[in-house]
Each structure stands twice: as C-alpha cells, then as structure tokens.
Structure 1
C-alpha cells in the first residue's frame, strides 16, 4: 500500500495504517536520530517521540515526499534532544561546582549576574538564523571540532568553516557588545 493511501487512512482514524507506516519507516527514523545522538537508548526514545510528532502533525503534511518530511522532523527533534542534553550537563556541572566551592554570600550576587548573562546569550543564540545557530552552538558551546561537526552534518569540513565565518559575520553585523550587558 502506498504512503499516500496509508496517510489518508490514518487521517480517517485508522490506527492500523499508522502502525504500518511506523513499521515501514522505523529503521530510517532510528538511523537518522542515532546519527545525531550517538546513543542507542536516547535514539530509541527519540524515535518514539518522532513518531508521536509525525502522528500529531500528519494533518499538516502536504504530499511533498513523506520520507523527506518525516526525516526533517526526525533530524530537528534529535537536534532539540541533543541541545537539552547539553543544557542538562551544563546545569549539573554548575551545581557540582557550586557544591564543591560552598558558595559564600558575596559570590551569590556574582553567580546571579553570570546566570543572567548565560540566559541572555542563549536567548541571543536563538535569534541566529537556524543554519548558523547549529555551527555556533556546536563550536563554541559544545566545543566540537570542525571535523566532528562535518561528520554529524554529513558535509565537508570546508562547509563548516564557511558556515562559521558567515555566522560570525552575521553576529558582528547584527549584534552590538552593549546587547550583552
């Protein structure tokens, strides 16, 4: 049965048709998510979440190539999961550092200011065009090498260099130092 026919049946309320779509594409979704997350358990969980997103978004699908549409959802979700993991790690490291230092009162003020600055920087990073945000985040926050990012995005190292150059240029043009104080 074709994808279009299965999608129509799902939209009519046929759950079995959706199960058939899941069976047909589960390996593709898993491989896509795993390529970003590099962790089997996380990829399995994320793949299930992707299928839930697909199910709830199916009414918005416009017959432009189901596998492509589904893969785009999977990649975006995997990137979101990776970002959440990085934020959680950062919060855990911050908490452990605080515990180890036994925060005196005067450093609490400093900590609040630094926390506000971190939030501001994250907010400003979200303003970056999406194609730049990924390389800026990967290079400066996740501290990945050009080679790592090129492998993850399945592009040449030169492409990553170009994206970073353009992202930096965009930031210089659109942001002022006063925006971060």
Structure 2
C-alpha cells in the first residue's frame, strides 16, 4: 500500500513507478511538491497570474496523461521544467497572435484596442521593498528573446545549473552560457538608466 507523509519522501524512481501505475496519492504528492515551482516559473515567463495558473494546471494534466511515456532519460524535475517552459512559450505565442489580430483590426477602424501591456503583478517571494525593482526587471525580461528569458529565469530565479538548463532546453551547456551572457547584456543595457535615476539625490 502506497502511503506518504511530510517527513517521508519516496525516492524519485519509486515515485515515477507509482505515477506510471496510476496511483492517485503519488500524483497528489507530485502536485503538492512541485506546484509552486511550476507556477512561479510560468509566472515569470508569461507575467500574468491567471495565465500562469492555467499553465500549471496544464502541466500536471500532461504529466498525468503522459507519465507512462516518460523514459527517465532525464530527472523528473527536468521533465517538469521542460513541459512548463514549453507550455509557457505556447501561451506567449498565442497572446502575441491575438495582439497582432487586435492591432490589425484596429487599423480598419473597429474599436478594438490592444490590451497587452507590461504586467503589474505581485510575484511570490518578493518583499514589498523589492517590488519596484522586480517590476522593472520583469518588464525588461519581457523584451528578451524567449530562450534568453527562459535561461535567465531558470538560472537566476529557480537557481538551476547550466547543465540542468541545457537538459531542459535540449541544447549544449555552452549554448546556455551564451544565452545567459546575451540576456545579461540586454538587461544591463535596459536597466542602467533605471538604476542611474535611483542614485540621483
């Protein structure tokens, strides 16, 4: 009989075996363990709380439906991050498509304003004192290329190693290093005026 509690956690292989066997308690444990990480990662990428909630639900639905196909060539967390980032990017593409449609419609005189703007949201784990800085950072991140944004999020916010990110994005470690380097260059360029302004007396 499969049981668990807060102090006893299954080894990953055993958890995966229980998931593949369709054990609902194992699935609940997976959700309870990883739902915050999945939600927070999606939130940084899409920067819309409701959308991040939808993505998190989609991630766990996909895990439930496809865990039988998981070949365990990567860690369970790597697989979860891969699904999360993939779904977050899909949501961004749909949003950009809607934005283009709205813009084109407005050219023909229909009163249909473009609703997308850099978001104003409260990210979990960010203190009130840091909210202004984080909002500025997230707006700057929103201008990064998608792969740069994901690499930056996974490394600096989720604290994953270059190797782990390479496995998630299915690229080389050197490619991840390049993505992070370009992301930092772009962010430095965008954020320098903000910090210079804050330094003024």
Do they fold alike, i.e. is TM over 0.5? Answer: yes
TM-score normalised over the length of structure 1: 0.57
Q: Which has the higher contact order (CA 8 A, sep 6+)?
A: 2
Alignment of 1:8-157 (within 5 A): 8-63=17-72, 64-100=74-110, 148-149=144-145, 150-154=148-152, 155-157=180-182
Asked if the contact 1:11/1:58 (under 8 Å) is kept, the reply is yes
Quote the Cα distance in structure 2 between the aligned partners of 1:84 and 1:2.
38
Q: Structure 2, unaligned stretches of length 5 or more? A: 1-9, 112-139, 153-179, 187-201
TM-score normalised over the length of structure 2: 0.52
Quote the Cα distance in structure 2 between the aligned partners of 1:145 and 1:54.
28
- Between the two proteins, the alignment pairs up a number of residues equal to 119
Quote the Cα distance in structure 2 between the aligned partners of 1:32 and 1:153.
11
SS in 2 for 1:156: helix
Q: Structure 1, unaligned stretches of length 5 or more? A: 102-143, 162-181
Distance change (3 Å), C-alpha of 1:145 and 1:33: closer
Distance change (3 Å), C-alpha of 1:32 and 1:145: closer
Which range is displaced more, 25-34 or 2-11?
2-11
Higher helix share: 1
Asked if the contact 1:147/1:157 (under 8 Å) is kept, the reply is no
Task: Give, in angstroms, the shift of residue 21 of structure 1.
Answer: 0.4
Asked if the contact 1:33/1:47 (under 8 Å) is kept, the reply is yes
Higher Cα radius of gyration: 1
Quote the Cα distance in structure 1 between the aligned partners of 2:84 and 2:53.
12
CA deviations over 1:85-117 (Å, ceiling 9, x no partner): 11011111212222349xxxxxxxxxxxxxxxx
